[in-house]
Amino acid sequence: MASLFQCKCLVLFTDLPSKPGLANHLGADYSMLIVHGVSRAQLRKVKSKTIQTT
């Protein structure tokens, strides 16, 4: 399951530069977490923060 998660990170990371509006919406913190690779718990925390602010 860890490899599937890493795969999602790579897809998200490679997709962000092609959608600057999306990258700006998610914020630099979210982008940097994807670049460095994070645990599911950390990613969920960031996602929930993003949802609350929108």
Note the pTM of the prediction, 2 decimals.
0.18
| Model pLDDT, residue 9 | 46
| Model pLDDT, residue 19 | 52
| Model pLDDT, residue 1 | 41
Distance CA 10, CA 20 (A): 17
What is the domain partition of the chain in residue ranges?
2-53
Q: For every one of its 54 residues, what pLDDT tens digit does the chain have, with 9 covering 90 and above?
A: 444 444 444 444 444 444 555 555 555 555 555 555 555 566 566 556 555 544
Helix axes 28-36, 2-15, angle to 10 degrees: 130
| Model pLDDT, residue 15 | 47
